[in-house]
Amino acid sequence: MLGIETSCDETAAAVVETVDDDERPWRLRSSVVASQVEIHREWGGVVPELASRQHVRDICGVVERALDEAHIAWPQVDAMAVTQGPGLIGSLLVGVSFAKVSAWALQKPLVAVNHLAGHIESLWLEHGRIPTPSVVLVVSGGHTSLYVVPAEGEYRAIGRTRDDAAGEAYDKVAKLLGLGYPGGPIIDRLARDTNQTAVRFPSTRLTHPDRNAPRREYRFDFSFSGLKTAVLRHVRQRQKELGTGQLPPAEISEIAASFQATVVDTLVERAFAAAKWHNARSVGFAGGVSANSRLRSVAAARGRAAELAVFFPSPHLSTDNAAMIAAAGLRQLAAGRLAPPDLNAEAALAL
């Protein structure tokens, strides 16, 4: 399976094959990602028009390199998978158009993949079979969505952010503190060996499931806009007290660490509450923010305490990549779900 991913600002292609192993049925042959971070850094975030233009420049070379590293030629591709959405419409259209033309030229099956399903399947690609039912949190710059996976290839949404995604909040707080873009890795680095409780930021407390016991379904939603505002007010207050717009580096690190601790605690608490509510046998974290070092350590400790298996993808499979799209495509192909000839990108595609 040749996978193609162009949902935001990474142009990616990968080759994943099926193997005769019940526990680990997929093997990654190659994965190539062309990042646009340097292009968008000066703007403090992704500029959609610049992103789509760069995808056009990069996609041919990225796909050819993925094929070369997998040691296969175009005729050896058995099927293709491409991200249909959600994402930036201009970026998505580049990948969808390339995949449709290639599949037509090769006369090979084409599978449309939901980007969020790809993140979920990155856990299966990384670890092989995972105990189900599982609760998986997809957390990135554009998404904070919680799913129950009753069985392999089945996804049921049980929560999402009501405003900012967690990764988006990281970027905005990093910009407020003058740390640069992307904010997640910078804040994670600053927060290490720094007081995590120097500033007591409030965490959003939405209704707890125990108060809704009669309901068959409960939404484990998130909200980060209030936390972002609390950081802004704290910074403005400290600037006023110090009489300067530049806070001391040590204080900036403490603010960053305290912000991160609040975000991570919220993510982990909600994911494990959902796991308990749905009698899950495992908990997974996927998406760019899942590479965060504090999230990994706190979730692992919580898993040991709750005697629940906890899974993360490797850092390469955490951020946007085409390997996860190829894996999700193999799942779709096995179920016989092929894309129609008139496949189109969908910026707000739901899972």
What CATH number is attached to the domain comprising 243? 3.30.420.40
Q: Do 231 and 180 belong together in one domain?
A: yes
168's tokens:
């988006």
Cis amide linkage into residue 133, ω under 30° from 0: yes
Same domain, 107 and 188: no
CA–CA distance, 44 with 56 (Å, rounded to integer): 22
Q: Flag whether 125 is in a domain.
A: no
| pLDDT at site 37 | 86
User: Do 170 and 237 fall into the same domain?
Assistant: yes
Please check whether residues 232 and 190 belong to one and the same domain.
Answer: yes
Residues 328 and 310 in one domain: no
| Nearest-angstrom CA–CA distance, 143 and 8 | 12
> pLDDT 10s digit of each residue in the chain, 351 long?
999 999 999 999 999 999 999 999 999 999 999 999 889 988 888 999 999 999 999 999 999 999 999 999 999 999 999 999 999 999 999 999 999 999 999 999 999 999 999 999 999 999 999 999 999 999 998 899 999 999 999 999 999 999 999 999 999 999 999 999 889 999 999 999 899 999 999 887 666 655 555 455 668 999 999 999 999 999 999 999 999 888 999 999 999 999 999 999 999 999 999 999 999 999 999 999 999 999 999 999 999 999 999 999 999 999 999 999 999 999 999 999 999 999 999 999 999
**Do the domain assignments include residue 340?**
no
- Is there a single domain that holds both residue 163 and residue 95? no
The residues that bridge with 127 in the sheet, in sequence order, are none
At 229 the pLDDT is: 94
The residue segments making up the domain with residue 220 are: 131-314
Q: Would you tell me how many other CB atoms lie within 10 Å of the CB of residue 324?
A: 36
Query: Is residue 144 a contact partner of residue 161, using CB atoms and an 8 Å limit?
Result: yes
Task: Tell me the C-alpha distance between 48 and 46, whole Å.
Answer: 6
Is the residue at 324 inside a domain? Answer: yes
pLDDT at 43: 86
300 and 323, same domain (yes or no): no
Question: Do 237 and 218 fall within a single domain?
Answer: yes
Tokens at residue 135, please?
């609760």
Of 106, 113, 174, 94, the residue nearest 141 (C-alpha): 174
Question: What's phi and psi for 277, nearest 5 deg?
Answer: -65, -35
Alpha-helical (H) ranges within 177-248 are 183-191, 225-242
Torsion of CA 50, 340, 158, 143, to 10 degrees: -10
Closest-CA residue to 231 (of 303, 191, 299, 177): 177
**Residue 91 belongs to some domain of the structure:** yes
Answer yes or no: do 64 and 143 share one domain.
Answer: no
- Examine the domain organization and report whether 199 and 299 are in the same domain: yes
**Residue 348 within any structural domain of the chain:** no
In this structure, the answer to whether residues 144 and 33 fall within a common structural domain is no
Do 329 and 306 belong to one domain? no
| Residue 123 lies inside a defined structural domain of this protein | no
Exposed / middle / buried, residue 108 (Cβ in 10 Å: 0-12, 13-18, 19+): middle
Residue 109 forms part of a structural domain: yes
Based on its alpha-carbon atoms, the radius of gyration of the chain, rounded to whole angstroms, reads: 21
- Number of folded domains in the chain? 2
CA distance 161 to 142: 10
User: Quick one: pLDDT at residue 204?
Assistant: 76
pTM of the model: 0.93
